[in-house]
Structures are given as C-alpha cells and as structure tokens.
Structure 1
Amino acid sequence: MSDQFAPGASAVPSGPGSSTGFRPTAVAAVPLAIIGQSIGVVVPGASASVAVTGISLNSRSVQPGDLYVALPGASRHGADFVSQAVEAGAAAVLTDDAGARLLAFSHDIAVPVLLAEEPRALVGQLSALIYRSRPQDAPAPALYGVTGTNGKTTTTYFINALLQALGKKTGLIGTIEILAGGEAIPSLLTTPESTDVHALLALMRERGLDAASMEVSSHAVSFHRVDGVVFDVAGFTNLTQDHLDLHGSMEEYFQTKARLFSPERARSAVVTVDDRWGVQLAATAGIPVTTLATHDAGTATATADWTVHSPAPRGLGTDFSLRHRDGTELRVHTGLPGSFNVANAALATAMVLAAGHDAAAVQAALDARDPFTVAVPGRMQLVSTAPAAVVDFAHNPDALARALEAVRSPEPGSRVIIVFGATGQRDQGKRPAMGAIAARLADTVIVTDDDPHDEDAARIRADVLAGATEARESEGLGSSIIEVFPREAAIRRAVELAGPADTILVAGRGHEIWQEVKGVNHALDDRVELRSALTARGFTVLEDQRIES
C-alpha cells in the first residue's frame, strides 16, 4: 500500500488534467470506516483506516485513492473490471451481491471490498461525502437546477448570463458544455454521473465560484445522477411528450420530474404554470414555490406570483414586462426569437430573484448587459439572415411546433423550409406527430435522418413521412414533402430551394457534432453543413460564433 493510502495522507492531486477532467485539485482523505458508517457497513481491522480521495464508476477513470463502485451494466458487471481498477490505484471497492459472487471466482483482491444491496443508490451521498461538494460548514456556490421537457439549456445559459451581469463568478453544467469559472469541459450527457457532478461542484467551490446552474433531465433523476445534490432554487419550464420510451406515460414522466421538488433535493422553486403539469407541480411540491405564468393560461395566470405582460417584438427578439403581484415590475428583453424564449428569460429572472437578489440590481443588470441575448449553441442559432437560416435542437412535437412558429417571417411571399428527422430507438409515437406538425407549419418539409442509432434509418423516415403525408392529405395542406438523405444532402437541398426572403430551419440535433449510425459516430455538425451550403450558393453567412468543429 502506497503513501497515498496512508491514514495521514491529507490530499491527493487530480484536477482537469485527469482522465475525468472534473475533479478539484485536492481532496481531503476520508477513512474507509467513515464511508462504511455512512452506508451502514462495518469496516473491520486495518481496512478502516484506508484513505479514500475520490470515487469512480468506471475502471478506466479510476485514480489512485478512489473508491471503485462496481455496478451491473448492460452486458458486463463492473466487478469484471475490479483488477483494472486496482491496478489504476483504487483503494477500495463497493459492489452488490452479484459483484461479490464474481469476485469470489477471481484472484484475490488486494483492497477492501464493501457490499451493499443497491450500491447505485448510494453513489450520490458517497460522492458528496468524499468531495465535500456542498458542506454545511463552508461556503459553496448558490446552485440553480432547471428541469422540464423544453428550455432547460437556454434557461441555464440565461441564468448564467444574468448572474455574470450582476458581477458573479459562475459555473454551468449542461448538455452543451460544462463551465467551471471560465474553463470549458465538453459534455456528453444532459447531466453527468453523480460522481462527476459532486466533483464538479467541489471544483467550483475550490475556485471560489459564486453560483452555478445545472440542467436536470428526467434521466438524471431516474438514474441517480443528482443524488446528494440540494439546489438552492429549482426551476420548471414545461412538460410535453418526450422520453416515453423510458417513462411509459406522461404521468410517470411528470412524477420523475416532480421528485426534484422535494426537501431532499431543493430548498425553493420557481414553477412555470403555463400547462396543467406546472399547475399540478406547484400544488404538490414539498418546498416553497413561486409561480410564473408567461401567457394567458386562465386561473393559473390570474393567481401566479409572476406574470409576463406586454410582449412586443424588437428585432428578432422580444421586449416584455415581468410583473409580481406585489407590484414589482421589471423590464426584460431577449434577443432570441420565439415566445418560448420569453418564457425562458422570465423563468431565469424569477429564479435569480428567488435566490435573494435585489430587484433593482437585477433591473440594472438587465439594462446594462442585455444578458438574454447570449448565444446558446444550437438553440435557435442564426447562421444567416438572407435567407434566414436557423439551427435548433427541437426534437419533440412541442419544441418543433414552437420553433416553426418562431421562425415564420411576416414578409409576404416568404416560405419556411424545414430539415429534420427523428432519433432511432426512442419514443416512436412522436415521429408521425412531428411529421404532421411540419406539414402544417412549414411550406417545404424535407425529411431526413437524425441519429438512427441501431434502428433502420429508412423505417424512421417512413414513420415521419407517414405523419406528414396524412396531415397534408386529410387537412388539405399546401406543403410539399420530400425525402432526402443523408442529412448533409438534405441541408444542401434546402439551401438550393431557398430564396433570400425564405427561412430554413434545420431541427433536431442543435449543437451535436456526431451522428451515430449502427454504433459508429460520423462527424456531422448541422451548423457547419448549413454554412458550407449557403456559402456555395453565394449567400452571406454570419460570423462563426460558438460553432464547434
């Protein structure tokens, strides 16, 4: 056993140069006895003094001093990789009965092994303990969590921008990127694993950040990725059909989201009550709730704490007033198009106010910095203006409808051309619905591939085309519907069909730069393809802002 594991060791370096990239530069060692005590396991003898300085679910990211948590996977159990974890420096192992049986048939394990009935459910609390990510006896960044079907990414960017306008040093954990005081770390999941979440929060605390905002998906709640995290303010955007392949029904989907709004996970909340799910959440949440209505939703609007008033277009964006029932009123502007971005900006403002920021200071920041005109990669991202060419992440029926409505130009004779598809191995019920929406709201519908994954791409396109064609025929629509693949060819076709007064919307993939087909990732960035096609036709494109390549 090396000095790194000795009881007197106080810290082990890790940090951004490590294989995870998420960890603080130093972590105070936690004796294995304390870890065992926290999960109800007695650690006997000399093992009790073994020092743990990190935690990992992946043997390939284990660092010296880690607790390696060996969990069952889709095809292999993590216990199969314990020897690799120990070679990498794991100080101890936590696993379940199945893992223990596998270890019994392997070579002797030179580190202590702890057993638990459901170790996955313990990872969050252990990560919080080991990294001291949110200690009660030390200052930590104010933490904002945003959930809902649509708008999570933009709302977290808006919160981040408003806090920066208030002079705060901020962090962000989300779909597109992870920011820890200015350092960007690529993100592959809407929310990382709980081990990484707590390491990130500890890193942010170590760097002296004032606040951080985080997207919280239903997958994150279901798969324990935010266990052990308590948000200062949790926000709810909306709930529409998505992820039913995981949840089975809208009610189950809602109940998963609602778990975030409990004393174990959040101290307070701002809930948008524009749909019945928001109304239900506001009525049943177990924490103090501030309600927000962004359009006339009947009784919910009349009784909401905050309401949006007098939206008026300014450029591509909107000016509006955000009014509290106590008479407080703020003037707000977002430079991003669409009523949904009004809702996102209103929610971000209300969440920052709910965290205790003074309304006058917030108004001054809004006036001076225009924070809600921040570019959000792949979210209504403008690539050119003549024709207007927009890339957006809309990948479910509600988001697609909102995006199409937002990009429709009032200029007589202008057309909307949409390029989109549907993701493979996901909720198949939304495919024809999305096709029908496109046929109703676009003039030209180009159906192509999204990320087929392991599903037959032609079958996915057929499902989308069926919905579009049925809507056009049964409703007497005038839209044209064509099928073009691969996706880059579909984008070129859209540009070939467009005139300077038209709008092209490339929807579904947003910021993503890889397309997965039969287990192989192919480089594909809708923004890059759109810029290339526009340039080839002689159209002027906007400056390349935040486009990843």
Structure 2
Amino acid sequence: MPAPLTPRQAEQVLRPSSTVPVRLADLALAVKAQGRAAHILNDISTSAVTGLCLDSRAVLPGDLYAAVPGANRHGSEFSAAAAAAGASAILTDAAGEPMAAATGLPVLVIDDVREDIGLLAAAVYGTRERSPRLFGLTGTNGKTTTTYLIRSILAALGETTGLIGTIEIVAGETRIPSILTTPEAPQLHGLMARMAGLGIGAAVMEVSSHSLSYRRVDGLRFAVSGFTNLTQDHLDLHGDMEDYYATKASLFAPERSERAVITVDDAWGARLAAECGDRALTLSTTGDPDAAAQWSVAAVRPDGLGHAFELRGPGSTLLRARTGLPGDFNIANAALAVLMVLASGVDPAVLQHALDTADPLTVEVPGRMQVICREPAAIVDFAHNPDALARALESVRSTIQGSRVIVVFGATGQRDATKRPIMGAIAARHADIVIVSDDDPHDEEPAGIREAVAAGARAAIAAEGLSSTVMIEYPRAAAIAKAAALATVADTILVAGRGHEIWQEVKGVNLALDDREELRAALIANGFTVAPGTAPEPNDSTTEGTEG
C-alpha cells in the first residue's frame, strides 16, 4: 500500500502549473480596500509572491507563508522553516509580527489572517477573474454521493469537470487523495486556478461545516449550492444544533451562493428555504403533501438494486430518472443532483435526454453503500452518525424469510461522545446481530468508546424488549471476520462508519485498514463467492472523513 502524500507533495498537485507574481503591496491594498488595516515590514519595492500556503511544511519557493494562531502554537513560530523552504514573504497578525520579522523576509501584517485569507488567495491565483462554475453540497449526510452524481450528470452533458470531496480531488486527469473534506482556502483557490488552466468548466465540491467555520471557502462564489439534511453530528465543534445549522446556512448567503436547491424533508431545510427566499428551489423527497415544495419525488418504483422515480415541478414540468444505487436515501441524493444541474441553467429537455441515454445516476461511489458480495449481501458504507446509520440499516433489511442483518461498526474517538449510545441503540433496533468494534480511536482509549456504544445497544434491548444480540469484537478486522463467519447466504452484512478510508488512526499512528478488503477476504475465507472487482484498489487517502 503506498505511503500517504507528504504535505509538500500534496501542495504541489493542488497548484496551477504557473502563476503571475503578485506584488505584496497590491495584496496590502486589497485588504485596505475592505476597510481593514495592513502594513508591510522589511519591504522592498520588488516584493512579490507566486503562491500562498498555511502549512510551513508545504511551502514552495516563492510562496507567501500565512502564519495564523493555532490551538496550541502560533504559526509564526515556523517562520524560519518557511523561509528556509523558499518563502518570499510572510503574512501574519500583530502577535506573529516579531517572529516573522526576525526572518528578514518582507512581512504583511493584518488584523485577522483567517478573515482575509480567501480574499488574498483569490488575488494570488487570479480566481476572481477565472474559475470553473462551482456546485457546492452541504448537509450532514449524502454530500459525497450527491457530488459524484452531479459530476456524472455534467459529464453526460459533455462538461469537463472537477471534484473536491471526502474521497478524492479530481482535476482534469489528476486524482488527488483528500486530506480534508474541503481543503484550506489557499489550496482551494490554487485548485480553481489549476482547473481553469486545464479547461475545466465546472467543479463540484463538498462544503463541510468545518470548512465554513474555518473560512476555507472564503473568496469563492458558488453558482448553485445544495442542502441535503441536518441531523446530529459534529457537536464537539458546534456545541449545539443551532450553531451547526447557522454554520451550514452561511453557505447560502448571497455573497457565497448565486442559487440554492434545498431539500425540505426536515424542519432545518424548511427554515433554510424560507431564509433563502426566491434564490432557492425546494425539493421534497418523502411524498408529504404538506411539504410545500416546488419540486417533489413521485412514482417511485424498484429498479434493480435501485429505483426509478419522477421529479414533478411547477405546472406540468416533469423529469424522469433512475438510480442504480441501493437505499431510499439515494433517491433523495439523485433528485437533489438533478435539480442542482437544472438550477445551473441547463434546459430541461437537454437534461432529460442525458438522464435517458447515459444513466448518470448509477455511478459507484467508493465506500458509499458499496456492494462487496450478493449472497450474503455484504455492503460497506460510510454511515458514522445516528441518522446515517439508521438509514443504512433500514435500506439493507431483506424480505427473504429468515434473513438477518449483521452490523459491524464503532464510534470515532475525540469526537461527539453523546452520539455513541444513540448509535448503539439504533443498531440494536435495526440489526439482529450487533458487533461493536473500533472506528478511529485517535488518542482516546478504545475500550471506553466500545463500551459506550455497546451500553446504548444493551439499554435499548432491555427497555424495548428487542431480540438483538450484542457483542464486542476487536480489532476491527477480527470483527469483520466474525460477521462473515456468522452469516448465511440469506443474511446481510453492513460494515459501517469508515467507508472508503484505508488508514485507522490509533494513538497517532496510521494503521492500514480497508473495510472493503477485509470484508472481501473474510467472505472468501468462509467459502462465499465474491465477484471480482467489487472492491477497488486502495489509494493513499489519509482523510479522516468525518468533517460535516
């Protein structure tokens, strides 16, 4: 298995092949034009930069190194390392000014680097003038799948596209494993410049709440932004659901998004649609006549592993679609993808032709309801929060008499601990055999995480009279092997929580672990037939995959 990319290697592939040097004085003027203070130390009239970087380990020659305050240390402490790597100048705040100035490099000092980093990145990479048409996806669940579906529709329409998300970044023919769901602002602007230089007309991006909180998407404007849903997740960052919602909703501000398509299946979506007003198309996927949506999903029928459905809009507008992806929630993802492309200005008749001829809504998304075997049904999914786990488990329940659902999952360490017993209870309600194991413990003791999840399952069994069996098995590979050993051809195995990820972080060490490969090997070891090619070759992604 290849080693993860170094920060410098990753930075290199996130950049355009060339840039025009930008004078430090012009960057100072851009900040002042916003009514904010800026001054330059150690200035020389020819001071200019060709890139912008927040990580001293990734600095490339000619860069403006942005030294920002961190949780424990100020980035200015790494100014000397950035200078040694070839930085042309340093960007920092008043607290970082002394250490940055000590390098002898020109230093641009502003009040809040995070506040202006997007503005400055746009100026360095020229993305205000030239950038692909951007589609942004936010919400708790469904973002990744929907981005793949949008990209597939655009490709069916003849567009050259880019993708930025949890699993990978695609710029032209270059595939770049993702380190964050949404890269930092300088990296995003560098990517936009790279894509524009490659002739890419449209890019689709997952926009996590972390990226909005940390201002990673500042300086970008989305042609269309979409909202999937909002359920409990990431409260370790946001504290409560109200802050989580407000962060997500900030993507839809007029300065960030031109148009919006909002799924109004929950109260959060309905609230967001009301706040967006005329800039939003609304979508109901539940068939609820009281949803008051402009577009609704109707005439749903099974079609292979997936479904065929209709999208009914204002007046007599009708779009017919199908998706081969399993699960009712993938109908919602597919419907949102179709409407976002429609909202970008594509003629409905042209869109319908693409849906009819190219089957763009049937595309494999790594680690998202990915089928590894059919007898028993064995599926790997990224579900790592209560709502996603419930949806995944509901969707895999077989109608075969005597069939059982066996689920393997855990909870992430150093994240929202309140969801652990909730997820345990959900597993007990929807699965016959619950095997609790480890996800990414990070620096937390794994045993305590496992026990919190299992306790929630046991409590639900006792309180609700459930017949589920709960067991704890670790390490994760052993838990997956246990599931395969227990299964019959009529059963369904769901391995949830990690999806496409191939590294498990334990006490700061990345251990090689791919649920798809472990499940495949365990099934073969137990005599089951696994079709070749069901699990893709592993890549070198190091993403935690838990940004929301």
* Range into which the TM-score falls when normalised by the shorter chain: over 0.9
Match of 1:127 in 2: 121
Deviations 1:121-143 (A, max 9, x none): 211111111101241xx5x3211
Per-residue deviation, 1:315: 1.4
Out of 26, 50, 56, the position equivalent to 1:59 is 56
Aligned residues: 526
Does the aligned pair in 2 maintain the 1:33–1:49 contact within 8 Å? no
Distance 1:471 1:159, change over 3 A: same
Match of 2:139 among 132, 144, 148: 148
Q: Is the 8 A contact 1:262 1:286 kept in 2?
A: no
Give the superposition deviation at 1:362: 1.1
Q: 1:189 aligns with which of 177, 180, 185?
A: 180
List gaps (5 residues or longer) in structure 1. Answer: 1-15
Amino acid at match of 1:23: R
Instruction: Please name the residue that 1:72 is paired with.
Output: 69
Which residue type is aligned with residue 146 of structure 1?
L
Equivalent in the alignment of 1:332:
321
- Cα distance in 2 between the residues matched to 1:198 and 1:314: 41
Contact preservation (8 Å) 1:145, 1:216: yes
Match of 2:112 in 1: 118
The whole-number CA distance in structure 1 between the counterparts of 2:537 and 2:190 is 28
Match of 2:17 in 1: 25
Q: Would the alpha carbon gap of residues 399 and 18 (structure 1) be closer, same or farther in structure 2, given more than 3 Å must change?
A: closer
Q: Secondary structure at the match of 1:511?
A: coil
Paired amino acid for 2:110: A
* Counterparts of 1:480 and 1:323, CA distance in 2: 43
Partner-residue secondary structure (3-state), 2:308: strand
Is the Cα contact below 8 Å between 2:502 and 2:514 reproduced in 1?
Answer: yes
Give 1:258's aligned residue.
249
Q: Report if aligned partners of 2:41, 2:107 keep a CA contact under 8 Å in 1.
A: no
1-structure distance, mates of 2:218, 2:12: 19
Q: Return the letter of the residue paired with 1:189.
A: L
Alignment match, 2:296:
307
Assess if the C-alpha contact under 8 Å between 1:261 and 1:286 holds in 2. no
Q: Which residue of the partner structure matches residue 3 of structure 2? A: none
CA distance in 2, matches of 1:411, 1:182: 43
Where do residues 272-287 of structure 1 align in structure 2 (5 Å cutoff)?
272-285=263-276
Q: Which amino acid aligns with 2:119?
A: Q
- Residues 422 and 431, structure 1, Cα contact 8 Å, conserved in 2: yes
AA at the equivalent of 2:71: A
Partners of 1:228 and 1:373 in 2: how far apart? 33
Are the equivalent residues in 2 in contact too, given 1:71–1:79 (CA < 8 A)? yes
The aligned residue for residue 89 of structure 1 is 86
Aligned counterpart in structure 2 of residue 483 of structure 1, from 472, 492, 496:
472
TM-score by length of 1: 0.93
Higher RCO, 1 or 2 (CA under 8 Å, sep at least 6)? 2
1:461 to 447, 450, 459: 450
Deviations 1:85-111 (A, max 9, x none): 11222111111122124446xxx4222
User: Matched residues in 2 for 1:546 and 1:232: separation?
Assistant: 32
Q: How far is 1:373 from its partner? A: 1.1
Residue in 1 aligned with 2:208?
217
Taking a change above 3 Å as real, the CA distance of residues 286 and 92 of structure 1, as seen in their structure-2 partners, is farther
Match of 1:10 in 2: none
- For structure 1, which segment, 81-90 or 392-401, has the greater mean C-alpha deviation from structure 2 after superposition? 81-90
| C-alpha separation in 1, matches of 2:433 and 2:24 | 63
Contact 1:247/1:253 (<8 A) preserved = yes
Residues of 1 paired with 2:78 and 2:447: CA distance? Answer: 38
User: Is 1:548 the equivalent of 2:545?
Assistant: no
Contact kept, 8 Å, 2:76 with 2:97, in 1: the verdict is yes
Task: Render the CA deviation track for 1:392-451: whole Å, top value 9, x for unaligned.
Answer: 000000000000011111111111000000001111111111001100100110011111
Q: What SS is found at the alignment partner of 2:352?
A: helix
Q: Is 2:97 the partner of 1:100? A: yes
Partner of 1:164: 155
Query: Does residue 1:230 correspond to 2:221, yes or no?
Result: yes
Structure 2 Cα separation of the partners of residues 142 and 114 of structure 1: 31
In the other structure, the counterpart of 1:6 is: none
Letter in 2 for 1:175: T
SS at match of 1:20: helix
Aligned partners of 1:509 and 1:526 also within 8 Å: yes
Question: For 2:44, what is the secondary structure of its paired residue?
Answer: helix
**3-state SS, counterpart of residue 39 of structure 1:** helix
> 1:243-262: CA deviations, max 9, x gaps?
01110111110000000001
| Superimposed CA distance per residue, residues 496-532 of structure 1 (whole angstroms, 9 cap, x where no aligned partner) | 0000111000000000001111111111000010011
Distance 2:384 2:459 in 1: 20
Measure how far apart 1:328 and its partner are.
Answer: 1.2
Do the aligned partners of 1:377 and 1:547 also contact (CA within 8 Å) in 2?
Answer: no
1:64: how far off?
1.6
Q: Give 3-state SS (helix, strand or coil) of 2:95's partner.
A: helix
Q: Partner residue of 1:244? A: 235
SS in 1 for 2:12: coil
In 2, the alpha carbon distance for the partners of 1:49 and 1:158 equals: 47
Query: 1:45: how far off?
Result: 8.9
- Aligned partners of 1:85 and 1:329: how far apart in 2? 56
Alignment of 1:334-413 (within 5 A): 334-413=323-402
Q: Distance in 2 between matches of 1:44 and 1:248?
A: 39
User: Pick from 16, 22, 28: which aligns with 1:36?
Assistant: 28
The 3-state SS of whatever aligns with 1:373 is coil
Matches of 2:517 and 2:278, distance apart in 1: 44
Deviation at 1:310, TM superposition (A): 1.2
Select between 314-323 and 75-84 the one with higher mean Cα deviation. 75-84
Query: Is 2:340 aligned against 1:322?
Result: no
Cα distance in 1, alignment partners of residues 254 and 219 from structure 2:
11
Task: Name the residue aligned to 1:295.
Answer: 286
Look up the equivalent residue of 2:244 and give its one-letter code. Y
- RMSD over aligned Cα, in angstroms? 1.5
State the percentage of identical aligned residues: 58
Task: Show the counterpart of 1:13.
Answer: none
Alpha-carbon distance in structure 2 between the residues aligned to 1:205 and 1:58: 24
Deviation, 1:18, is 7.1
8 Å CA contact 2:43, 2:107 repeated in 1: no
Query: Partners of 2:224 and 2:400 in 1: how far apart?
Result: 42
Q: Is 2:9–2:58's contact at 8 Å kept on the other side of the alignment?
A: no
Secondary structure at the counterpart of residue 531 of structure 2: coil
| Residue matched to 1:109 | 103
| TM-superposed deviation, 1:76 | 2.5
- Answer yes or no: is the 8 Å Cα contact 1:171–1:182 preserved in 2: no
Offset at residue 367 of structure 1 (A): 1.2
